[in-house]
Amino acid sequence: MIEMQDVSKTYSNGVTALSRININIEQGEFVYVVGPSGAGKSTFIKMMYREIRPTHGTISVNGINLSKLRHNKVPLLRRNIGVVFQDFKLLQTLSVYENVAFAMEVIEEQPANIKRRVMETLDLVGLKHKARMLPTELSGGEQQRVSIARSIVNSPKVVIADEPTGNLDPDTSWEIMNIFDEINLRGTTIVMATHNKEIVNTIKHRVIAIEGGRIVRDEAKGDYGYES
């Protein structure tokens, strides 16, 4: 469902972040992306939802060739891709409910569906009872759950997460991982960049290791493989 063929990315300052990447991720997989700081993990991930475009090569997601995708069709692509960030990126003036509902409103979902689906999703992440609160009234782990709810509310085929536990303490990180596992068990593909060695070595999934812009390892149920 995510395919990269001979993909390279050189930023405008001349830094080559990725070189000749070939990868194939199937529907339903759970993939960790690991590697040292500056290796190219975020660049790799951002290309999947066309936050950035490759300098060379082709990427397709859900059968859509991203190089040929017109600008006005990008929202359609993103409808099928949920994105979760290290720093949550919630709208601070909106309630928990409104943050999640917003993702449905922008794609013009029927209002009648929105309430039911938002509450169902908040229930899944264990935050139904905090629907009326503001992000500033929540812990980091709770804020990350809201952002996960927002990422899955439109039932995307894939969720892409860039260091989703990077700002969280160990216990909270495990709770967040359990939610991702639950989402994956329901059939959603997960691609997650992480520096969390303990998690990668405990909840085993495919590991793609990137170093210096190249894939140096791609292993089913792999290890983290670095000292951290």
Ligand X SMILES: Nc1ncnc2c1ncn2[C@@H]1O[C@H](COP(=O)(O)OP(=O)(O)OP(=O)(O)O)[C@@H](O)[C@H]1O
Q: Which two tokens stand for residue 147?
A: 């952002």
Q: Which residues pair with 82 in a beta bridge?
A: 159
Q: Which two tokens stand for residue 120?
A: 């169902």
Site size for ligand X (CB under 6 A) = 12
Binding positions for Mg ion, 93-122, rule CB under 5 A: none
Piece of 40-48, 67-75, 126-134, 183-191 that binds ligand X (CB under 6 A)? 40-48
**By CB under 6 A, residue 190 contacts ligand X:** no
**By CB under 6 A, residue 13 contacts ligand X:** yes
Distance of CA 7 to the CA centre of its chain: 20
3-state SS class at 105: helix
**By CB under 6 A, residue 110 contacts ligand X:** no
Please identify which residue in 17, 40, 42, 99 interacts with Mg ion, judged by CB under 5 A. Answer: 42
**By CB under 6 A, residue 216 contacts ligand X:** no
Distance CA 35, CA 209 (A): 5
**By CB under 6 A, residue 38 contacts ligand X:** yes
Distant-in-sequence, close-in-space partners of 199: CB < 8 Å, separation ≥ 6: 165, 173, 174, 177
179-104-2-148 Cα dihedral, nearest 10 degrees:
-20
Map residues 42-81 to x or -, x wherever contact with ligand X holds by CB under 6 A: xx--------------------------------------
Q: Which residues pair with 58 in a beta bridge?
A: 5
Q: Which is nearer to ligand X, 39 or 90 (CB)?
A: 39
Instruction: Output the CA angle 10-34-167, nearest 5 degrees.
Output: 100
**By CB under 6 A, residue 35 contacts ligand X:** yes
**By CB under 6 A, residue 227 contacts ligand X:** no
Site residues (vs Mg ion, CB under 5 A): 41-42
Site residues (vs ligand X, CB under 6 A): 11, 13, 15, 17, 35, 37-43
